């Protein structure tokens, strides 16, 4: 039994939430029961394989699975960092380097406060840019309709939200950060009920964007178990 098509419309967490109509299968590659993870070799991206039943009401690019009343879908489990209208090029460059180090997708939401050709941006990212999975979007809606579709959005906030120590991250979360001088605006925060904060002393208003991204990403990797996919 083999499948090569990748479902792109729904994340594993979205499917798991509809468990009454979703049947999990053993992975076709390692035979571990899903939603356990599998890898065919060191350093390869973790995947989960599920059966989408015909009565699930879901649509997507699924591989037909005759005789089982549904279709197979293979999900790559990878986090995303989303920078909403970032303003300072070295910060974004440092986040890009972080993403290269952890194989995390980086999504930038325009308008940007700099050009992607900015020398300070490139300097902060050093020679790691070829290893960054980077996409730029004209607005937040465009991101949500494509790469962010079906993902759980975890909004970062300097003061409100749940302490990251206690928040339950998942492997396919999208970690969303606002611009350095303003933070995430209300209309973006309202796009998700999931909001987190990094605990800091009250005498400091907020952390540097790239520092906060590093802390939050590694807490998410640790909390979800995805840290085990790194060397």
At 12-54, the pLDDT tens digits run 443 343 333 334 444 444 444 444 444 444 444 445 555 444 4
Angle at which helices 209-224 and 89-102 pack, to 10 degrees? 20
Provide the CATH number for the domain formed by 80-229 in this structure: 3.40.1280.10
Could you report the per-residue pLDDT of 129-164, keeping only the tens digit for each?
Answer: 788 888 999 999 999 988 887 788 999 988 789 999
73-82, 142-151, 208-217: least confidently modelled range: 73-82
Question: Which residues of the chain form CATH 3.40.1280.10?
Answer: 80-229
Q: Report the pLDDT value the prediction gives residue 149, as an integer from 0 to 100.
A: 79
Give the integer Cα–Cα distance in Å for 42 and 20.
34
H-run or E-run covering 82: strand 80-84
The pTM score is 0.70
What number is the average pLDDT over the span 55-79?
49
């Amino acid at each position: 039994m083999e499948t090569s098509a990748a479902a792109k419309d729904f994340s594993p967490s979205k499917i798991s939430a509809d468990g009454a109509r979703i049947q999990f299968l053993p992975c076709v590659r390692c035979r571990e029961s899903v939603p356990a993870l599998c890898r065919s070799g060191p350093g390869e991206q973790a995947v989960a394989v599920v059966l989408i039943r015909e009565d699930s009401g879901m649509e997507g690019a699924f591989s037909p699975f005759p005789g089982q009343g549904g279709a197979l879908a293979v999900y790559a489990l990878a986090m995303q960092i989303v920078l909403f209208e970032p303003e300072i090029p070295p910060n974004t460059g440092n986040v890009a380097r972080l993403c290269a180090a952890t194989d995390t997708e980086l999504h930038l939401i325009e308008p940007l406060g700099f050009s992607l050709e900015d020398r300070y941006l490139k300097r902060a990212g050093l020679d790691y840019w070829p290893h960054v999975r980077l996409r730029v979007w004209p607005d937040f809606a465009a991101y949500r309709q494509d790469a962010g579709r079906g993902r759980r959005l975890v909004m970062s906030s300097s003061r409100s939200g749940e302490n990251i120590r206690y928040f339950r991250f998942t492997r396919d979360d999208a970690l969303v950060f606002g611009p350095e001088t303003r933070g995430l605006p209300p209309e973006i925060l309202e796009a998700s009920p999931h909001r987190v904060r990094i605990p800091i002393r009250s005498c400091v208003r907020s952390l540097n964007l790239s520092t906060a991204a590093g802390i939050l990403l590694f807490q998410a990797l640790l909390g979800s178990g995805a840290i085990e996919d790194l060397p």
